[in-house]
Chain A
């Protein structure tokens, strides 16, 4: 039971809605220059304060992604004070990024000292002990990329932490932590799932964006 593409044509989309969706995406991803072009072309309104915030956020996220986790933390604390009070997990993840950076630069002693000073205090809470074990375990290997915890050194992991940081900062400023575009795709997927469950298994295949884009 796949939907006939002709049914789509019945639904009219407002231009303004489309622009808003793209706007929210660009804001979420801190694409300042692109946003400025869009604003000029479409006549949408964006305040200077919003643009400044985006710039700050961009700097924070780039620092973190490039391995400068301590800078990222510092800047975040400036921009969104007490964000880390409510997001201890995030703070731990960022500190661990720095730890990983030290290990990758073969600075074991520094890494050990940093771990003892900054990460160890988290160990008082049981849920962090497992994570601590994972990170400290990297120290035990002369070639950490060959250890069972090698995924902690990867770009994907760093990207994941940075994404979380982004969402936290947005949430702290009472802005949506997911862009509208993401939400729409998420919604389509979930609706498909629900329908599938209602109608019985295997009637509908799960929503696949790729297939959808190919077909339309």
Chain B
């Protein structure tokens, strides 16, 4: 856009020029150029004197000014100037124009005078702006070895402003010696004068936007709109697909894993727990058949058995991957904790505590210690060799096997009472808690340590924010749970989804932000106890069920005839663009 097209039929030109007369306010002469595109676009509805555009109260003057700003920042200064002329709306007042030029020329004293003429009413802003200008003057003087003049500026111009006295002290130090001028990484100490354009930018940010329009404001507004669209997109689970400004962003539900890709039937009894490793290369599952299995996720997405971990005498209720995915802990229910090497499948150590049973297991983030909950309600910490480091006594954990350490090592999280989750600060030993009204069945921690998903006996999932202030954020409903432990997990792109098992044999998937239930996956023939979403592949989900099987779910294939067939495998590596239908 932005050029003269001379090959249009005369009638179109006439139409265009009559439209232009409407908005002209300052009696400017008729512009001699206009673009081809303008005659194709429909005029924007405006009310009254053409002051408001659209229906949300957008002022035409502001709208035109930010368009002009965009044109100038894109480098189209001729078009920008043309717009100013044609619309009769100046980009900024002449006084501001003079001010900007003086800053760029380094004409400090004059710019200070101009500063007072550009219509800023807030005296503190005028002072702050003066400070920025005078500071630049000060540094430029120092840069030219004019210390006495710089000192004079400091004494007679900067100090009397009576603001920022700490900075004034620092500035006096700069006069003292060159070596104080460039020290350290932080910009505060460095006294090489900044570029004048940078100063202009600082001033732009400081001055009210009515005086000086912030840089790239239109771009900022458009980016905000895109963010909002993305947040509202309930199926957004893929980076594939470009962002276009021509249509609103909207993913189809084909981005959510919803088709059984593989069924794994190596366990002999109910499968209670499963979890992908952090690197997404392995899946570990545990069962009431007293064993655990490590599965390998192939490059083609196919899952195959790697090792059977035998040795427990009781059902294995939970598993924990080490922070580097090299080792794995398994916990037999009220029995012992075993540590295994993932590559060899060998049991490296057994952790036990006398006659007490262990009910949960977790790693410290540095991979050097093992945490475990005991049947006497305390939490114990061992080093790799099995030596006890610490034991947190008191009612720290109950018989349910959930124990988590945040990945920054700061908090231990455990269910300490039927309706309460405890967050213990490892350093200060202080405790915070989440109180629920219903009995808690299980919980999961989000990868960023900021959220806790709690599964309750009344068939609700509660999402709590635990970062600073403990606060309930969202509730998710729909799944069924009445007798057993059913677990939920975070997953998908940026953990934007929640998945949970259910006693009605289905897997439930919600959009985390909106709480909307977006998928229920059928296929299992028994209660689904646990789900795990591959942290590295947002299109792979695994579920563990009482029907002794594990199902791997992936994206629905186009023209798929294999839906519902047992042991079907297919390539999970195919992605579809937005809008594909099944």
Please tell me if the beta carbons of A133 and B172 are within 8 angstroms of each other in the complex: yes
A108 to B165: give the CA distance in the assembly, Å.
19
| Complex Cα spacing A140 to B150, Å | 10
Instruction: Judge whether A137 is part of the interface by a CB distance below 8 angstroms.
Output: yes
Query: Given the interface contacts A116-B176, A119-B176, A123-B177, does A133 sit within 8 Å of B156 by beta carbon?
Result: no
Chain B 176-203 near chain A by CB (<8 Å), digits 1 or 0: 1101100000000000000000000000
**Contact partner of A141 among B159, B175, B176, B177, CB < 8 A?**
B159
- Known contacts: A133-B169, A140-B168, A140-B171. The answer to whether A123 contacts B155 by CB under 8 A is no
Identify whether the interface residues of A are mostly helix, strand, loop, or mixed.
Answer: helix
* A185 in contact (CB, < 8 A): no
Indicate whether A162 reaches chain B with its CB closer than 8 angstroms: no
Interface size of B by CB at 8 A reads 21
Q: B222 in the interface, Cβ–Cβ < 8 Å?
A: no
How distant is the Cα of A133 from the Cα of B147 in the complex, in angstroms?
Answer: 17
| A142 and B159 contact, Cβ closer than 8 Å, known pairs A108-B151, A112-B151, A134-B169 | yes
Q: Mark A104-131, 1 if CB is under 8 A from B, else 0.
A: 0000110010011001100100000100
Whether, in the assembled complex, A100 has its beta carbon less than 8 Å from a beta carbon of chain B, the answer is: no
The total of chain A residues at the interface (CB under 8 A) is 22
Known: A109-B148, A112-B147. A137 touches B172 (CB 8 A): yes
- Among residues of A, the one whose C-beta sits closest to the C-beta of B180 is A123
A60 within 8 A of B: no
Tell me how far the C-beta of A77 lies from the nearest C-beta in chain B, rounded to whole angstroms: 25
A140-B169 contact in complex given A109-B148, A112-B147, A112-B151, C-beta closer than 8 Å: yes
Whole-angstrom CA separation of A147 from B177 in the bound complex: 22
A139 at the interface (CB under 8 A from B): yes
CB-CB under 8 A from B179, the residues of chain A are 120, 123
Are B156 and A140 within 8 A (Cβ)? no
Binary contact readout B138-180 vs A (1 if CB under 8 angstroms, 0 otherwise): 0000000001100100111011100001001111110111011
- Find the B residue at minimum CB distance from A111: B151
Residues of B within 8 A of A109 (CB): 148
Instruction: For A148, list chain B residues within 8 Å (CB).
Output: 165
A73 on the B face (CB < 8 A)? no
Interface residues of A in 128-184 (CB under 8 A from B): 129, 132-134, 136-142, 147-149
Bound state CA distance, A148 and B156, in angstroms? 16
- The answer to whether A139 and B168 touch across the interface, beta carbons within 8 angstroms, is no
Q: Is the CB of B169 within 8 A of A142?
A: no
Please report the C-alpha to C-alpha distance between residue A141 and residue B161 in the assembled complex, in whole angstroms: 11
Residues of B at the A interface (CB closer than 8 Å) are 147-148, 151, 154-156, 158-160, 165, 168-173, 175-177, 179-180
Contacts beyond the supplied A136-B176, A148-B165: 20 A-B pairs with Cβ under 8 Å: A108-B151, A112-B147, A112-B175, A115-B176, A119-B176, A120-B177, A120-B179, A123-B177, A123-B180, A129-B173, A133-B173, A139-B151, A139-B175, A140-B158, A140-B159, A140-B171, A141-B159, A142-B155, A142-B159, A142-B160
